[in-house]
Amino acid sequence: MAMAPLFVPPPHLLFLLPATTSSSPAASLRRLLLPPLSCHARQVLDVMPQGDRVAGPRAAEGAGAKGATAQVGVATREAGTAGRHGRGRHGGGARPWRRGEDRPARGGQHAADDGEVQGTRRGGDLKQRREGRRWTRGETQARESGKAGNSGRCQSNGSGGNASRKGKKKAKGGENEVKLRVELDMCSKRGDVIGAINLYDSAVKEGIKMGQHHYSVLLYLCSSAALGFVQPAKSGNAGSGIASIGQLHSSSTQSVGNLEGDDVQSEGHSEDQEGNKTDLFASDDGTEKPSRIPVSDELREYARTRGFEIFEKMRSEEEKVPMNESALTAVARMAMSMGNGDMAFDVVKQMKDQGIAPKLRSYGPALTAFCNSGNVEKAFEVEAHMLESGVRPEEPELETLLKASVAAQQGDKVYYLLHKFRTTVRQASSTTAKLLEDWFQSPTASKVGKRKWDSGAITKAIENNGGGWHGLGWLGRGKWTISHSHIDRNGACLACGEKLTIIDLDPKETEDFATLVAKLAIKRERRSNFDNFQKWLEKHGPFDAVVDGANVGLFSHKHISLSKINIVADVIRQRFQSRKLPLIVVHNRHLTGERMQKPSNRKLVEKWKLSNAIYATPTGSNDDWYWLYAAIRCKCLMVTNDEMRDHTFQLLERDFFPKWKERHQVRFNFEDSCVTLQMPPPCSVVIQESENGQWHIPVVSEEGSLEKDRTWLCVTRRN
């Protein structure tokens, strides 16, 4: 479906459009942006030096080598030392190994440099060099015969010769496309927006066909520069939504998520990689380079103008490049850089019209633009569109909406967002807590709320919701008092004395959660292995607690310590009337070897086996699934310091799992031979709304700190 034109450069920007020669404004701006790439990086990534790359792919031809052949997935170094130093392909340098040949013996490179030829391949290598034959992907390999050297050059008469010429032309075109891709990827890694634009100009001039990946990289770089900084695509934390944009006009070099690094994998194929990427680039002296590079206002405007130009070419009838989410999101980012929220929002709407599923990051530009301009109503229209599309806003998006709502003094929006925070992130970050304090201290906040309400209806709503909130709006009038408080061991607030709630877990939700974990485990384990465990658990369970044996036994140890597991098991059993040993889940590899032959270890294992209190997971299994399932099925405590954030636990339902984990996880710590257990908190660590209109808001604490030290915002009416 054709898209309406999104951008027409205004007359005052036309002077910024580059000429077709290398003396464009881009050449003068390029020096303002980036230091030259280190020699080591050029050798590893096999690209031309920065000064040579400005002129585009044609510069490689004048470097002495007949073009640098860069094949994806093939270990070649065609550009190599010879090309960079101006020597001919056969001018004394060692010829690189190519697919289909025997690998050279160790040290063969140096021998070739000295004019020596080693091994039984001498005749074949010399003959191939004399013939100058190079096989390129896309061509037919020479037949293995006595005339192999001639078969590559001989052409049959008639249509055979034409086919051969067409094949060579096609191979050459494919080689140029791959080379352009490699060079653009290198620009993306370095955040070199000007270098990428120059490569684009050269490719257009030389008629090199560009695909989805080429355009996505170009648009990513242009949109980054348009926002005021250039983000190297392979560094930083690959966030989503507003986290992938960063703050407009920010001078910070803090790492944020990226656009191109998430999805741009290959032409016509996009893949999510929203995991953590922390590989910053090191310079020659080993120091880390900044992952965000501020750019000048002049370059911002130039990159935005060229970005829209590149997008128009991508979507033209001539190119017919399939549109994808990453390219359209880049356009939305460029619209945001102009403060044009309507254009950014229209781009997201067009995604749905074209059958492209928008992502959280797709909405970030429109949401940010509307919030920055104070257009709160439009911002909440974007949020509504997100929910309709099955995209759920996360803390950065909610915080942006909250900031705009507080600034606009819209009490109903703040109330709505407080409950959004309650269900989505449960706790408040330090910045969110500061925004909420600003709201409660404002004159508007003291005036919103019901003077009279039905106490019975409020109580019933809280019971129906499982405790901790009613959702019926602000209660009371008058100024608010804000205290930074703590919760005692009984769950009471030390500031106001109110006892906070333990929010009930729905029994059906718990049962469904156990079924989900079992299904996921069976998919990733051998079915018979997990089936056997489920049968064993039905026979010997239930248990009052489950111990993650590896997590406990490897605490401050290189090898597993069964004595530490035994200490934890004995301490936790004392908390239950049954005095039954907890279930110890440990991988079978930890129960074999010379260390396990010690009498003390053998005695412990035998004791646990006799009590049916240990389960050794089989070879090739992930013991996380076993202890997690056992704790859910038995509705019991789970002893582990595992924060459960890796890919295994990312598969779980993200609303229910945090609530379940909070109520069941027991953390531990060893000092000498004594263990300290940190039991689940005496109340649910979640934003709570009381029946008299008070609020208790937990603030995110540092990892590893005790729950009793957590700060809570206690917000009450003065009268």
Residue 691 falls inside a structural domain? no
| Host domain of residue 537 | 505-680
* Backbone phi, psi, residue 327, to 5°: -65, -45
Say which CATH number the domain at 574 has: 3.40.50.11980
Q: Is the pLDDT of residue 266 over 60?
A: no
**pLDDT, mean of residues 392-407:** 94
Please tell me the predicted confidence (pLDDT) of residue 338: 92
Residue 564 falls inside a structural domain? yes
- Mean pLDDT, the chain, integer: 75
Q: Is the pLDDT of residue 285 over 80?
A: no
**pLDDT, mean of residues 114-136:** 42
Residue 531 falls inside a structural domain? yes
**Crossing angle, helix 193-206 and helix 159-190, to 10 degrees?**
160
Residue partners of 83: CB distance under 8 A and separation at least 6: 60, 63, 64, 65, 68
If pLDDT is split at 50, 70 and 90, which confidence band does 378 have? very high
Q: Is the pLDDT of residue 253 over 90?
A: no
Higher model confidence: residue 340 or residue 110?
Answer: 340
Please tell me the predicted confidence (pLDDT) of residue 190: 87
The token pair at 227 is 């926002």
Residue partners of 717: CB distance under 8 A and separation at least 6: 476, 477, 478, 479, 480, 481, 693, 694
pTM of the model: 0.66
Please tell me the predicted confidence (pLDDT) of residue 487: 94
Q: Which of 548, 534, 549 is nearest to 633 (CA)?
A: 534
Long-range contacts of 4-13 (CB under 8 A, 24+ apart): 5/312, 6/308, 6/311, 6/331, 6/335, 6/343, 6/346, 6/347, 7/308, 7/311, 7/312, 7/334, 7/335, 7/343, 9/305, 9/308, 9/309, 13/301, 13/305
Q: Is the pLDDT of residue 672 over 50?
A: yes
Please tell me the predicted confidence (pLDDT) of residue 429: 93
Residue 612 falls inside a structural domain? yes
The token pair at 629 is 């399932």
If pLDDT is split at 50, 70 and 90, which confidence band does 570 have? very high
Instruction: Read off the pLDDT of residues 525-544 as tens digits, 9 standing for 90 and up.
Output: 887 899 999 999 999 999 99
Split into its structural domains, the chain has a count of 1
Taken in order 665, 670, 671, 674, is the CA torsion positive or negative? positive
**pLDDT, mean of residues 87-103:** 46
Instruction: Read off the pLDDT of residues 678-690 as tens digits, 9 standing for 90 and up.
Output: 999 989 999 999 9
If pLDDT is split at 50, 70 and 90, which confidence band does 653 have? low
Q: How far apart are CA 333 and CA 351, in angstroms?
A: 14
CA angle, corner 513, sides to 572 and 619, nearest 5? 70
Q: Is the pLDDT of residue 406 over 80?
A: yes
Please tell me the predicted confidence (pLDDT) of residue 265: 38
Residue 359 falls inside a structural domain? no
Q: How far apart are CA 73 and CA 632, in angstroms?
A: 45
Q: How far apart are CA 260 and CA 221, in angstroms?
A: 8
Residue 533 falls inside a structural domain? yes
Alpha helices, DSSP H only, in 55-206?
Answer: 58-61, 80-84, 108-113, 122-131, 148-151, 159-190, 193-206
- Evaluate whether 541 touches 626 at the Cβ level (below 8 Å): no
If pLDDT is split at 50, 70 and 90, which confidence band does 243 have? low
Instruction: Read off the pLDDT of residues 165-220 as tens digits, 9 standing for 90 and up.
Output: 555 555 555 788 899 999 999 998 888 889 999 999 999 999 898 989 999 999 99
Q: How far apart are CA 52 and CA 47, in angstroms?
A: 10
**Crossing angle, helix 430-440 and helix 395-407, to 10 degrees?**
20
* Total Cβ atoms within 10 A of residue 20: 10
Please tell me the predicted confidence (pLDDT) of residue 594: 87
Instruction: Read off the pLDDT of residues 421-480 as tens digits, 9 standing for 90 and up.
Output: 998 889 999 999 999 999 999 999 999 988 889 999 999 999 888 889 999 999 998 999
Q: Which conformational region is residue 312 in: left (phi greater than 0), alpha (psi within -120 to 50 degrees), or beta?
A: alpha
Please tell me the predicted confidence (pLDDT) of residue 631: 94
If pLDDT is split at 50, 70 and 90, which confidence band does 233 have? low
Largest CA distance in the chain: 102
Residue in the structure block whose two tokens are 């969110």: 432
Residue 178 falls inside a structural domain? no
Residue 692 falls inside a structural domain? no
Q: Is the pLDDT of residue 277 over 90?
A: no
Instruction: Read off the pLDDT of residues 28-81 as tens digits, 9 standing for 90 and up.
Output: 444 444 444 443 333 333 333 333 333 343 333 333 333 333 333 333 333 333
